[in-house]
Structure 1
């Protein structure tokens, strides 16, 4: 069948796309539709993702019921299906005007597309099941179990950096902010990446509440291992995905392929959120035997969960004891200092450094979840784009974020802040509210005004009234001065942070 566009050069380890042929093609109309679909996807996912995942695809057949797309290998197919399958189907349906489904054809060594297996369910916007796993078995399956399926086998090729299915390339050790809350887990993850299979760290079990960075560490391990060894076979999945793939393997009698993927073709297995295996006896049994096989052969296993293994209801004792047999590391909610560091780093990575008072205001309302923090930054980025690239000031940010940010627990009042600052500096509250301009009073007064501005919703005039009737210009000047000095004077910065810790206990 005729390819829609000129074939791109074959990627390392891939097979060639379908050859152009004079036997007829998919039709001019379908070629036009495919060009439109690709153009739309390019706009949606960006040029880099488009060039990696969409450009190599070739359309090989189309009618009112289905569209057949050629992909170079199973790794590629699984990634496209999971990440772009719904979009592809919706784009084709919108343009063809029919309820088409998508079938993926995997290339063969001679360059012709393999016929799709008739028992494999087609992709649809509602569901994209993993009817096969990412790697085909290198052994020959039972012929009865593969009737109508391709007879060839494509050996698993180690993916290039950035092509490990499910592993985000932007989650690395370099951009993981380390604090007292996660220091041990970070050190353990780093040890695994440097010495995979070390008995002391095998398995590594990382646990903690949602949104604390467990998945980031898991992805960082995968990226570090693959960067150090391009041939490292890194397999990442969630417990839910492992379960779904097992169900599909049982349904389509592909268990040899499933087991090869997770056992023979794996150097490190990363399984996220294993608390979702609770009560799934068949899945736990398969994971147990996979665990035993991998560890027996010196391969590394990493698990994450919300709680300790013994606290996962419905986890079989033998699997629980395996989880407890290596290194267990917990992750706690970040303290204020760590949260600020994470917030500022992520903001800088997005090209929008935050003013300190805005960062402080956000951090006080996000004491736990880094995932929520990322959502807040996405909202700020949208506001910035709407304003032509200008960062919103704290008033604008508060207006747009107040409904999505959790309310800070028992925020300090102006009086509480003034009293805390007075105690910290060994002064009286009346000194801060008064008009004396002694050096030992003016600086603490300015600090108190700055902290009231940062930790309350009071306006400049309201703050002025709280300080004995100062005008708003005086308060505004004091706040700006402290912000400027905080960048230059470490002693002042330490003092302010100590006061904040006292306020937020």
Structure 2
């Protein structure tokens, strides 16, 4: 395992400035167990600095070497003895479903909730979703389920984690058992249970141990009839025992294709809470709140500059702010306009909104193929990848429905949904295709 960590360090040494690598990365010791990397720093100061500023960079380098996105646990030597890394709490991009237990009887491996309601900025674009999720936590929620829906990067995961954190930490709710579970992991666990002929244990796991189920990316179940059947049975049983369910998806229930009508009905049975694209005022307030939490002085004019440049993705706004903070700290200088514009060069310049014609032209040039090939019935991998990229970008940058997008390529809306889901997965895995899609998007909005 040391050899694996050395390979990851070698990749980091190529991508980071020499000073940063020598001071923050080289002193780290590592142990890899299952899909978690346990990093030990010389002291808590180094651990905190790496945790706040380099965790995502380490995850990306590790994913390139390991072939999957690992969990990362970082602690100083005073915080964890070298011989007991299992006591650390990993932080993950795609956590497995875990039951954190209760505040009075903590689990040996509690879930590391990454977000809270306290730092969720509320505006007209997300106030319904916030009210539904916070209401579920305070017993003022009238329904048994919430269905969160938005494009990537607008706060669905933040709200799911906030629910988990609140229910597991609040004094009056310390016995509440919460499970956060990406849909793909639910499917993988079910397949594993079938292969091991232990389906009953799989079924009992989520019925006996769950008061609130947080199920992310349910559009993954499209076209998977057996898994839909088990999910429908689980939702019914949880409802019968008074448990709550919160779903998230990149699509509204009516947009999902090849999904059982009863399951779609359950998705719609509670509160449907779509999150809209954030307006300029919301983006400015978000930047101000995040800057304040980081102790970063950012003038109103600079907030407006950033918010006017990055317009559709909250994650990119936060990433830009994080990089500004890092650069200011390294240079020991206050944030100014020159520094801000320099950092903004690394992000999409979204001063104009691309239309479908722009998207098709960009994709055709990037994949070096004519439009009639994109519209053809060919299932050749390169053509499917190009077509799916166009689906994803059309969904992100236009207000067209899935049906309208599909009509541009002689495809049904269910095919469009499947293609978008595949691209989202490639981007989340940091795959070669995922990086290619991101580069094409940068070309589109420049």
TM-score (norm 1): 0.52
User: Structure 1 residues 300 and 164, CA, compared in 2 at 3 Å: closer, same or farther?
Assistant: farther
- In the alignment, is residue 353 of structure 1 matched against residue 297 of structure 2? yes
> Corresponding residue for 1:383?
327
- In the alignment, is residue 186 of structure 1 matched against residue 130 of structure 2? yes
Aligned pairs (5 A) from 1:157-236: 157-158=101-102, 160=106, 164-165=110-111, 167-168=113-114, 171-195=115-139, 200-228=142-170, 229-236=173-180
Q: Deviations over 1:272-324 (max 9, x none)?
A: 11112211222212211110110000000000111211111222211101111
What is the CA distance between 1:373 and its match in structure 2? 0.8
Aligned pairs (5 A) from 1:303-314: 303-314=247-258
Paired residues of 1:188 and 1:201 also in contact (CA < 8 A): no
> Corresponding residue for 1:50?
75
In 2: Cα distance, 1:238 partner to 1:204 partner:
16
What is the CA distance between 1:216 and its match in structure 2? 1.2
User: Structure 1 residues 396 and 320, CA, compared in 2 at 3 Å: closer, same or farther?
Assistant: same
User: Structure 1 residues 83 and 370, CA, compared in 2 at 3 Å: closer, same or farther?
Assistant: closer
1:264 to 165, 190, 208: 208
Aligned with 1:174: secondary structure? helix
> Corresponding residue for 2:39?
41
> Corresponding residue for 2:338?
395
> Corresponding residue for 1:318?
262
> Corresponding residue for 2:276?
332
Two-structure CA RMSD over aligned residues (Å): 3.4
> Corresponding residue for 1:255?
199
Higher relative contact order (CA 8 A, sep 6+): 2
Paired residues of 1:266 and 1:299 also in contact (CA < 8 A): yes
Paired residues of 1:212 and 1:333 also in contact (CA < 8 A): yes
1:362 to 303, 306, 318: 306
What is the CA distance between 1:207 and its match in structure 2? 0.9
TM-score (norm 2): 0.58
What is the CA distance between 1:401 and its match in structure 2? 1.7
In 2: Cα distance, 1:52 partner to 1:209 partner:
40
User: Structure 1 residues 161 and 342, CA, compared in 2 at 3 Å: closer, same or farther?
Assistant: farther
In 1: Cα distance, 2:77 partner to 2:242 partner:
33
What is the CA distance between 1:158 and its match in structure 2? 3.0
- In the alignment, is residue 407 of structure 1 matched against residue 405 of structure 2? no
> Corresponding residue for 2:240?
296
Aligned with 2:119: secondary structure? coil
Paired residues of 2:29 and 2:40 also in contact (CA < 8 A): no
User: Structure 1 residues 340 and 164, CA, compared in 2 at 3 Å: closer, same or farther?
Assistant: farther
User: Structure 1 residues 51 and 235, CA, compared in 2 at 3 Å: closer, same or farther?
Assistant: farther
Q: Deviations over 1:208-247 (max 9, x none)?
A: 1111111111111111212221111010011112112222
In 1: Cα distance, 2:38 partner to 2:264 partner:
47
In 1: Cα distance, 2:330 partner to 2:344 partner:
15
Unaligned segments of structure 1, at least 5 residues: 1-34, 60-68, 85-127, 136-155, 411-505
What is the CA distance between 1:344 and its match in structure 2? 1.1
Higher helix proportion, which one? 2
User: Structure 1 residues 53 and 217, CA, compared in 2 at 3 Å: closer, same or farther?
Assistant: farther
In 2: Cα distance, 1:254 partner to 1:54 partner:
38
In 1: Cα distance, 2:167 partner to 2:327 partner:
38
- What is the number of residues matched between the two proteins? 290
